[in-house]
């Protein structure tokens, strides 16, 4: 079965099933279609399959037109019916891995998807998990479930882990050009996994096990979280010293070796960096290891939205205004520039804290016309249009996400008070404050 499945994948005759049609799954769907595969998309949210079949855009940077064309050609079908995974030769899980309220791993989406899929699997299929998670998840959660269903993993079905590395709005890298790490439960599984991704990714990086692949993704995101925490902490020091930390970082980045620039901000956002390090700290305790460095970084980054709110309060206070009753405009609610992704956005926390202090808060974001419902937050807000009149109407304008589509000269000229958490403006200590 291994040889026949690999040949089917290499000839691009295999049917690819993608579970989860969000920011990770949909780019995979598009890429497999681009090279000629037939694809089945699955999602528990019926709105996503419906949108694909209607040609409606629901992720800003993904053009629905080629997907609709594939639907009409019979190469793409999207559904909520998990029983149809039997039609697929490869099944790729791209579902969320959030944290619980106690900052412990929430694998309910992974386990729920696996338990929906495995009863419909058959010999000759490969199951790949792409969701970021702690080392051991594939071996401890998916492997036993496949074996309990009667499958011989490595001979009848194949199990791999390959972490997603999507970076929306990055013009320099795409799904095709970002190298893909793959680890298999067995050597045969790895061989199938390499064949699965080798048809759509320029460079596939095989590693010795699923655990090694899981640890690779955790390392990547922990590296970023720790370094961002470092510059966030240095930002606090620099503020007290009257030094522009953004100027310092850019100057340090001119060193051609031994330094990688990371920039501070209002907090961490996105589905990976604010969450994944805590998956590792939780798992490390099972082995008697306390990951103090990682946990400290998490504390620093988690505290940044509160610091931003305090800086807004200080800036308003300098002008004889209290936060209560002040009109505050938040520029950008996406977690990073030039995307419509609000997952774990620090802007949401900032808005909630400002509302809690009695401020009147509005937001502007060219990528997010309405704030959608989120797992932990419910803000029924729509974007405010930006013009000279609306800007002058606010007591304070917060730069939370520095989208390129903002008219920064308009903002500089007409905002009465700017608190800048992204280093877009030069602070003057009078009308423009760092945060």
189 noted as active-site residue = no
Q: Are 136 and 283 in contact (CB under 8 A)?
A: yes
Closest C-alpha to 130, from 291, 277, 340, 271: 271
End-to-end CA distance of the chain: 58
Q: With 0-12 CB in 10 A as exposed, 13-18 as middle and 19+ as buried, what is 182?
A: buried
Q: Tell me which of 189, 272, 378, 396 is the catalytic residue.
A: 272
Contact 54, 29 (CB under 8 A): no
Nearest to 78 by CA among 59, 51, 105: 51
CA dist list (Å): 40 to 64, 237, 308, 327: 16, 52, 44, 48
Q: How many residues does the chain have?
A: 435
Contact 210, 160 (CB under 8 A): yes
φ, ψ for residue 258 (rounded to 5)? 75, 5
Give the span between the Cα atoms of 397 and 361, in whole angstroms. Answer: 10
74 C-beta neighbours (distance < 10 Å), count: 8
Q: In what order do the strands lie in the sheet with 38-42?
A: 76-79, 38-42, 15-19, 90-93, 126-129, 158-161, 180-184, 204-207
Q: 33 CB contacts (<8 Å, ≥6 apart)?
A: 39, 66, 67, 70, 75, 76
Residues with catalytic annotation? 272
């Amino acid at each position: 079965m291994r040889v026949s499945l690999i040949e089917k994948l290499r000839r691009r005759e295999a049917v690819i099933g993608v579970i989860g049609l969000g920011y990770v799954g949909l780019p995979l769907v598009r890429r497999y279609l681009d090279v000629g595969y037939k694809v089945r998309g699955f999602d528990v949210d019926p709105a996503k399959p419906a949108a694909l079949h209607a040609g409606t855009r629901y992720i800003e940077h993904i053009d629905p037109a080629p997907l609709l064309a594939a639907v009409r050609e019979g190469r793409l079908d999207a559904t909520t019916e998990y029983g149809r995974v039997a039609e697929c030769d490869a099944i790729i899980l791209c579902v969320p891995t959030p944290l619980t309220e106690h900052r412990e791993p929430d694998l309910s989406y992974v386990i729920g998807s696996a338990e929906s899929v495995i009863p419909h699997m058959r010999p000759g299929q490969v199951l790949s998990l792409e969701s970021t998670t702690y080392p051991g998840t594939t071996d401890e959660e998916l492997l036993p479930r496949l074996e309990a269903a009667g499958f011989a993993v490595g001979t009848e079905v194949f199990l791999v882990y390959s972490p997603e590395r999507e970076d929306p709005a990055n013009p320099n890298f795409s799904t095709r050009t970002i190298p893909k790490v793959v680890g298999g439960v067995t050597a045969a599984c790895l061989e199938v996994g390499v064949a699965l991704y080798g048809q759509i990714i320029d460079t596939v990086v095989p590693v010795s096990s699923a655990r090694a692949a899981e640890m690779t993704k955790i390392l990547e995101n922990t590296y970023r979280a720790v370094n961002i925490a470092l510059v966030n902490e240095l930002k606090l020091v620099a503020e007290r010293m009257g030094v522009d930390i953004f100027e310092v970082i850019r100057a340090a980045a001119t060193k051609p070796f031994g330094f990688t620039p990371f920039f501070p901000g209002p907090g961490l956002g996105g589905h990976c960096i604010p969450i994944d390090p805590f998956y590792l700290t939780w798992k490390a305790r099972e082995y008697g290891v306390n990951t103090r460095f990682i946990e400290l970084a998490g504390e620093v980054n988690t505290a940044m939205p509160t610091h931003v709110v305090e800086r807004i309060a200080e800036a308003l206070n300098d002008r004889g205004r209290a936060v209560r009753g002040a009109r505050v405009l938040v520029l950008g609610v996406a977690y990073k520039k030039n995307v419509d992704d609000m997952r774990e956005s620090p802007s949401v926390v900032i808005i909630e804290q400002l509302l809690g202090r009695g401020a009147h808060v509005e937001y502007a974001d060219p990528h997010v016309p309405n704030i959608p419902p989120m797992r932990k937050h419910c803000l029924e807000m729509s974007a405010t249009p930006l013009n000279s009149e609306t800007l002058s109407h606010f007591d304070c304008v917060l730069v939370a996400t520095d989208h390129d589509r903002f008219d920064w000269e308009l903002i500089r000229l007409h905002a009465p008070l700017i608190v800048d958490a992204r280093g877009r403006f030069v602070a003057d200590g009078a009308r423009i404050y760092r945060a």
